[in-house]
Structures are given as C-alpha cells and as structure tokens.
Structure 1
C-alpha cells in the first residue's frame, strides 16, 4: 500500500475508534474498536501472518478431526465451484487456527506469506479485523474486503467467512474463502459470501445427521420444493420430545419463536419442541414423506410458519421411540436421578468437557453450579488443579491481586517474595469464577485480555506467563440483562459463554424423591415429612433441601425425621401448592363449554380437581396444559402422578 494510502487507512481507523461515524459496515467499525480498545493493537504497526509450529498445529487438527472429516466434502465441492478464480478455502477452528486448507499449489509461497495457509491463526487479537476473527467474534457470516482489514499487510485480501455451529449450538469453526486480489467493489463478493454460507449450512446439516442416529430429526425450509433436498436447518429430538441438537438456522428459528436470544443455546436445548412449535411427538409421523411437502406446514409460537420434514430413527416405531441409554462420566452421572432436563444438560456437559471452550453456568441460587463445575472438571479424567474464586466474596481492592498475583514488593504490604494468583494456580487445569456477574467493570477488561491472549501479567511484573487452562464461570444473575444495562462487558460475556448450561430449579425437577434419599444421609422420613418436602416450592433449591434434611436428621429421634423436625417454613406449608394459582384455561376447541377452574383451596383433593378440569379443557393434551400454566410439560406430568391423575382410556 502506498505511503499516502497507508496513512489514510491508519487515520480512518483511529477516527472510528474515537467514535466518529464511518462509511464502513457496522461489523467492520465495531471490530476496529475492539482491536484498539480491547486487544490494544496498533494500526500503524504491521502484523504479518502467523503460522503455528507443526506440533501445535497437530494438536489443533487432532481436536478438530471429526469436524475436518465431516466438512471435507463440502470444502472440495465449494473449491470445485470456485476453481480457476484465484480463491483459497480455509477451515478454522474456534480459536481461529486454520485446520484444513485447499488452495492452488502454484501460489503456495504467496498464500503462506499472506497467511492463507494451513496452520495460520486468524483470531482478532492476533490478526486484527479479518473475516475469520470477526466471524468468531460476531457469530455471523460476513465479508472483510481489502481496506476493511485492520492490519496494513492484509488490505490487499478479500475474505468471506461463515460460522459453522456444532449440534449443541456452540460456534465450532469458521469456513473462509479468500483471494489475494479482487475487484475494488465489495459488492463483487456477494455471490462468494452466499456460497460460503450455503456450504457452512450443509456442513452443519451433515454433522447433525451423523450425530442424531437413534433420534427423530426435523428439517425445516421456507420452500416446500427444497424441503427434502436442501433444507434451511434441522433439529434432533430425544425420546421425550426435547431438543437434543440443532443447526444454526434452526437455533435462530426456535429462539425467534419465543423471543429468546439465539446466541444462548441454553434457551433452546433441552426444552420440549412444543415450547417453540405447535408440535408434539405424536405429530411427527404426519411430517414424513408420506405426505406432500406443501401440506407439511408448522406454525411457531410467534405465528410464523415453516415447512417441515420429519425423519424417523432407524428401526424405531414411527409412533414411539424408547430412550437410548447414554454413558456419562461417573462424576456427571451422579448428579441426576432420572430427571429429563438434567439428563439432557449432563449429556451436553459431558461433550463440552472434551472441548477447549469457556462454559457459563446459569441458574437460580442453590441449584448446584459449583457442584456441576467440579463434576465437569473431574470428568476430564486427570488430576489437574481446580481453582474456585467467588467474585462476590472479595472486596474490589483484593480481587486483582487474588486473580493475577503480584511481583515481589509490587505494592505496599505485598509479599517480598511475590505471590502467584489464582489464575496462575489453575494453569493446566480449571479456573471456576463463581458469581462472575459481580466482578467489577475495572477488572473485566483485564480478565478479557487474559482469556483472549492466554497469558497473564502479575501486578507489578513485566514478563507475561503463558496459560493453558479451562474457564468455567457461573452466575445466578442474567448476564445478558447486565450487558444491556452496561454493568457487564459485552465482549467478555461472549468470551465466557462459548457454551451455556442452565441448571433447572428444584421445583421443576422430577427426581426430587431421589434427591431426598441421596441428601437424607440414610435417615427415614415419616409420610407427613416426606409430603411436606415434596410439595415445598424450594426457592433455595438443592442448598435449601440439604439444609432442611440436615436439620431434620439432627433433631430426629429414633432415626426417623418427622414433620416437626423440619424447618418451620415446611411444617407450616399448606397441603396445596402454596401461593401458586392455576390460570384459567382458554376456551376448548370443541363445542363443549370452556372450563374455568378457580384457584385451588389448600387441599390435595381440590388441587386434583382443578388440574383435572384444566386437562379436560385441553382434551388431555399435557403440552397445551403446560403452556396455559406457564410451566414445563414434565412439571404437569409430575403433578399428575402425585395426585393420581391419568387420562381415561
């Protein structure tokens, strides 16, 4: 780039970073600001392409071997479509490292110098604004064309990239098409961007179909003509009709149907498909190829419609599918007594434990977030350190020294020998940041840089320390809401929640009896005490249950816990469902009059009659009853069993 043009490019980046309006796409101007404010990159300092040493590249490729195998045919097909036009294809992992590559060997030297080569790292902290790095940062397909690039050495390139999401909703890789030279107009790359996006979508579909053997798969399309041959997205369902896996397009479709954030896989995974679409397990056979494509139309909860194609699992009855046993690591399997939501969450946790991703645990106070974090760590099968830090328990003045450590005599009162921080102590293992939502803003930027650079500089030190650790964070607060309020950094939020696991509250779990037996320490419960435990709403969740049982065991005489031994909040609880009232059902779809049950009196009989009336109004459609009650389908089933209700034959 000529000196004048280079000066103009640097000046434009600095001006945009100061908040000036830009002619660039919004994704480019946001990335420029991240490069300067978050990664502290200097636009005037050239940063040539970085190629990983062979041993490190081998590690990245080994971790991505399943994805490489699945994606290879898509890459070869796309390269054939672009043959002779000077484009090179890169498949980068979630850290921005190129793990597969197809290019013209005639230009090997030029491609290697430009970083369009196997082993190149294209993360934003390393390379600045670029297609792969910005795609990883935003989760969206995009084109970074010529002077959109932050670094001067990359401005001759044009690069179009699309994300590839795993079946658990996490961003697993980026598919990129780049060229050393191209026409000046960015619009010239629109077709290239479309082709790379379509190929990424097909790779996701292939990955889902390969991983969903033994499960129902529903494929979606906006066009009935392309439904069976080239769908837009797909979702797999477990035996109870819950979302077990999905593609990126399906994640957006389902999240949009209920107004949820598509960036949070936990808002969709593990939930019944009926929460998003007017669909139940019994409806799936009506969506197979036995019916014309144009008649297979589904309505979402938001009113939007989509064509659907259901694929039954091999050798399974089209009307029912028995649960498939899943082998979980003992540390994780020990956390559920058969609750469907917990089983789905633990299966996902077992897969995430093998991936180099940051995990965010969300859930109400007392649901067991640290217990789950330790179980994920133990399921990795090694004796590496697990270091926990409660970000809400330390004064702000101490958190920095606790996290980052300090050099000898770095400040007044500091140890003359220095001290390793908790992050360094966790090196090689797992760092658990509990109540991350309470971390002061002033430290969030330092933590972000640690996660991005994988190195730490202790307070008062000059030399960085390289890190190799897994990060699990947890909060009972809605971090997305904190981001919108300006109380939590958006870039740190997306760095921490590469994957999100949401623990269900105790009141929604079906394995309460199992938890009572497990936490009861072998003590017996008389019927009145057990009934009180089963009907309590447990605002303190598992922690409150454990405390109640420990108190009961301490006060029990003769080894049997009685109602009087339990906390007063339980012994005084009414026999009914407490302060909760049953919403009046909507009118039935049949000519029979709609039933409008009154809130139940504090007796099990009236509660049963109220629920029976609601189920009658819904024609015993449990999914519809759950929707009207505003609760989970499994919660209704649990109440039916407790009250002895069953659909008449």
Structure 2
C-alpha cells in the first residue's frame, strides 16, 4: 500500500545519492527539485492556477500555436474518448493555455491542477510530466509516485515537447489521468499517441510558416511519406536550412555528428552539408515522381524517403549563392538569414539600371548599402552622395543641377558642375529624399524622365546617364498620402525597395560588434567584450542604430584599461540601471536585458541568442524578479 512517508523517505535517499529503481529521468528530476529548486518533499503543495489576467497574457502569447494545434488536440481527444483522459497544452513556462476534458469532472480536475491556467513548471510543482519535459526536452511519463509532491501522486501524466521551427522548445502537450492502473507500462499507448500528436503539430506549424520556402518531408517508409511523415525541414532560396521539426533536427544533426539540441549549429547551414542534395535537386523529389523513387541519403549514409513541396506562391528568396554576392555587399552583415537575403536581393539589383529606394531607421547603414550597390554595379562613374536634409533649401537646386558663370550673386566666375552631372556614368545617392522640397521634386522628376540636366541660369540641357539610389527614414508612401511628396516621383524612385532592419532586430548583432571592435582596436590595441558587457549592449534599444553602437564601441575601446572591455567601460547611459559594485555580474546583466524587454522572456532570449529555457533557468539561478 502506498505511503506518503515512504515516498518522502525514498526521495530523501535519492537526494543522498543512494540508488533507486526509478527511471533515470525521474531520479534526475527529484535531484533538481532538491538541489536547484530547493523544494521540500514533506511540504505538500496544492496545484497552482495562475490569476485570470496572467492566463490571458499567456494565451495571447500562444494564440498562433493554439490555433494551429487545436485540430490536433481535438483529434487526440477523440482517440482517447471514454478513457477519462485530460489534454493540456502548456506554454514554455509550464502554464496550461488550452485544455480538453470531461466537464463532469471539472471540480476534481481543477483541484488536481489538470485545468486551464494551471502551472506545471518543475520549480513550482516538483517532478511532473510537463515540468520534466520542459527541462529535458524529451517525451516522458511521470506515473503516480514518480511525482515529487505527494499531492500529485494519484495522477499519471504523459507529455511530449513541441518545438518551434527554429529548434527551440515552444510548448508541451500533456495527457493525464486522475487515477490509473498501478503499472507504469499502462501508459505506453498514451506516450505513443501524445508523441505522434506533437509531431503533427510541429509539422503543421512548419507548413504554415514556410509557405514561401521549400519544405522537405521525411519517412522511413514510402507508404507513409505523403500521409504521415516523420519529420520535415524548410529550405530557403539559397539552399539553407530555414526551419525544422524536432525529428528534422535529429536527422540533420545525426548526419554530421552534431547535437540536435543546439539549433544554432543547423539553422542557416546549407542543406548539402547534411544531405546528399542541392536546392536544384528538390524538384525531382516532388509528387511528379513515384514515392519509391524519392530517396535521399544523409551524410552519415542513412537513407530516407523524401517529399519536396514547392513554395506556395512561387516567390522565393533570391537564388544567389553567398559566393556570388559581391564582397562590398558581403561586408555589410553576418550570416543571419534576413541579412543574407537582403544582400542577395541587392546583389541582383546592383547589376540593373533600376532606381532603388532604401528604407530604414536613422543610422542603420543606408548609405553603406548604397555604396556597396554602386561598387557591385560595374559602373565606371563616381558614387556621389547628397543629404537632402542637410543642405539649405536655397542651395539644393544649385548643388544638384549646378550653375553657369554669373547665374546668381555670389556664383563662381567659372560656374559649377552639379552633383547630378558629377555622377554621370555612376550612381547618385539621394539620402533623406523625403526632405526634398516639392518644387525641386518636379525638377528631379524631369531629370529622371528626360535623362538630362539644366544648370541654373542655363538654357541648353546636358545629357546624363546616372543610376539613382535614394534613401529615407520616413515612410515615403505616407508622405505621398499627406501631399508632402510627389506620387509620380515616388514611383520613379522605388522601382525596387530594400528595407534595412534596425539594429535591435538584427540576428547578426554579435557579428556587427566584432567588426566594430576590430576597427577600433587598431588605435587602442586589440579589444574584446566581457559577456556582461555584451549583454548590456544587447539590452539597449539602439535608436541611433549602427551609428550609435559604433560610437559606444569607440568610447569603450578608448576607456578600457585592459584588453577586455567591461560594463564599466561602456557609456553611462548603457549601464545606468546597473549597481556600481556589480556592473559586471552576469545576474545584473541578465536583469538589465529583461528590464529592457519588459520581462518578455522570448524577446530577451532572442537578443541574447539563447534558448528560452536557458534564460528561465538563469532567472531562477539569480533569483530575479520584475520590478514592481
């Protein structure tokens, strides 16, 4: 007969390192509860239901996943109908954001925590299926006295992880019973069903987010390839891994001996690194060929049947390999997919005569991109830049169009060639074009239409051949609707538009920092950043973008006494919230990042380049809490 006191003593023996007949993952969870979460097995803890306002926040953050998972949950619930199972979908914090159960048992289910809004994180509930699944990333069953807390020992819970397309734990699907047979093996079917449902939810999520990319689905059996694949990956237009299900991650990682739990080693890598195929081979794996002939080989020799699904809209990322991108464009960013896509698009446009409009916040590097486009264009003329917002309105006309001798009071006796004419045979870059006066917009429109320029005071136009690249931090379409910018000029300038992301959204932030450190190290000696200093940089919103970051790095490199730049070397406004005596402490740096992200764990993890579960563990380790 089960005894609470015997259960407590068993946990205490495990805590002392004594052997146990429990599954290894149960033993490890008990030890985490004792050593890391500091839980007391003798102190019963009733199920915790988060307040309604918090539940609403959790459900809002998970609404896309809930919508995708709902049909899968309902299908699973029908499969176990009549067996008194309850289905829980928990987010990565362990909070139940969706629930399916028999309403006749609502009171009992709520009391047991098998209900909407229940929190099953390991640090709060002890060893449980959801919490252990979040910690291990594996499907598992926590059966009756496997639970750490005596309150939960009547339950039998089976859970499987749901990963997002970037290989990070996104949610947990749990199927539980208020009471069950004594043998743990009675839940083997439940483990199979919940694992299969989680796999199908991951696949549905991948398909929803990869509409404009190739999707490659895998199966070991040709009969199930098109109806119930085991794994899938998505591939961008450059042939790189853009997304994957958990099964896809394991196939790719195993093929080259990598750890599937570290998606950074996989995402963004060429598919040819893992499989014996190139992007041009994918059309041969569509349904146009018999299933038995669609066989691919992984680099470890593993053979799989594959089904390639073409991009839905036919719109693909530019089909340019990184080696084909001109060096000036490659130097503008790291390997983040959105940056490489921008470089590839710019590389294709550079060789055309199309006018290009670059949109982006102040300081994002719009002029650098314009110069790189010119350098990759093959044009022999000059790159001439003019900031339309920096030249007095009364001088813009003469600056742009030039003037004849004696055209106006103070004019040079020799006259002057305007910037447009100086750019003949090359590129004219019009920065902050949105600030150009309306009267001059009409004259610029004539230049673009007629390919000739009329100097101030002149009567005979001069032919010019120029490539126009313009830029603005203001949305030109809005200025057009407000009557502040000519619509006909707008359509002349933005035959193609390139959008430069703000620094706070760039996934190659570390690469940008490294380039700046290298540049400023020449004057001050080789410099590197301490981990805490890097976190402090990532916690800032960078309204001035790359220009602001460059200034911050320059200051820090000059002030650093040693080769390692610490938090205290950074400009004061970057560390204003840090305590003076612990500015280089990892916990303080993490708190700075969380405060900057309004305690949005997902956003903080994205900026730090970490898995969300890692951030959660660090929060608990340093006992961090939001400021009230």
- Normalising by structure 1, we get a TM-score of 0.57
Match of 1:142 among 140, 143, 146: 140
Correspondences of 1:141-180 after superposition (within 5 Å): 141-180=139-178
Match of 2:541 among 378, 396, 399: 378
Where 2:107 maps in the other structure, the secondary structure is: helix
Separation in structure 2 between the aligned mates of residue 376 and residue 423 of structure 1, nearest angstrom:
9
**Cα 1:376–1:161, aligned 2, differ >3 Å: closer, same or farther?**
same
Larger radius of gyration: 2
**Cα 1:323–1:406, aligned 2, differ >3 Å: closer, same or farther?**
closer
Q: Which residue of 2 aligns with 1:451?
A: 619
Q: Which residue of 2 aligns with 1:65?
A: 63
Shift of 1:202: 0.3
Q: Which residue of 1 aligns with 2:407?
A: none
Match of 1:230 among 225, 228, 231: 228
1:341 paired to 2:489: no
**Cα 1:23–1:363, aligned 2, differ >3 Å: closer, same or farther?**
farther
**Cα 1:30–1:237, aligned 2, differ >3 Å: closer, same or farther?**
same
1:301 paired to 2:299: yes
**Cα 1:34–1:308, aligned 2, differ >3 Å: closer, same or farther?**
same
Match of 1:92 among 66, 90, 95: 90
**Cα 1:371–1:347, aligned 2, differ >3 Å: closer, same or farther?**
farther
Q: Please give the per-residue CA displacement for 1:462-491, whole angstroms capped at 9, x wherever unaligned.
A: xxx5459xxxxxxxxxxxxxxxxxxxxxxx
Where 1:341 maps in the other structure, the secondary structure is: coil
**Cα 1:160–1:243, aligned 2, differ >3 Å: closer, same or farther?**
same
**Cα 1:83–1:274, aligned 2, differ >3 Å: closer, same or farther?**
same
Shift of 1:127: 0.5
Q: Which residue of 2 aligns with 1:51?
A: 49
Q: Which residue of 2 aligns with 1:323?
A: 318
Shift of 1:342: 2.7
Shift of 1:27: 0.7
**Cα 1:336–1:6, aligned 2, differ >3 Å: closer, same or farther?**
farther
Q: Which residue of 1 aligns with 2:19?
A: 21
Shift of 1:451: 1.1
Q: Is the 8 A contact 2:139 2:191 kept in 1?
A: yes
Where 1:378 maps in the other structure, the secondary structure is: coil
**Cα 1:423–1:11, aligned 2, differ >3 Å: closer, same or farther?**
same
Q: Is the 8 A contact 1:403 1:421 kept in 2?
A: no
Separation in structure 2 between the aligned mates of residue 43 and residue 245 of structure 1, nearest angstrom:
41
**Cα 1:261–1:227, aligned 2, differ >3 Å: closer, same or farther?**
same
* C-alpha RMSD over aligned residues: 4.4
Shift of 1:292: 1.3
Match of 2:595 among 428, 432, 436: 428
Separation in structure 1 between the aligned mates of residue 313 and residue 249 of structure 2, nearest angstrom:
28
Q: Please give the per-residue CA displacement for 1:227-277, whole angstroms capped at 9, x wherever unaligned.
A: 000000111110011011110000000011000010001111001100000
Separation in structure 2 between the aligned mates of residue 146 and residue 381 of structure 1, nearest angstrom:
56
Structure 1: 5+ residue runs without aligned partners? 326-334, 396-401, 408-412, 415-419, 437-445, 457-464, 469-649
- Normalising by structure 2, we get a TM-score of 0.58
**Cα 1:324–1:406, aligned 2, differ >3 Å: closer, same or farther?**
same
Q: Which residue of 1 aligns with 2:124?
A: 126
Separation in structure 1 between the aligned mates of residue 165 and residue 542 of structure 2, nearest angstrom:
21
Q: Which residue of 2 aligns with 1:40?
A: 38
Separation in structure 2 between the aligned mates of residue 380 and residue 15 of structure 1, nearest angstrom:
55
Correspondences of 1:512-523 after superposition (within 5 Å): none
Q: Please give the per-residue CA displacement for 1:586-637, whole angstroms capped at 9, x wherever unaligned.
A: xxxxxxxxxxxxxxxxxxxxxxxxxxxxxxxxxxxxxxxxxxxxxxxxxxxx
Q: Is the 8 A contact 2:275 2:297 kept in 1?
A: yes
Shift of 1:322: 4.6
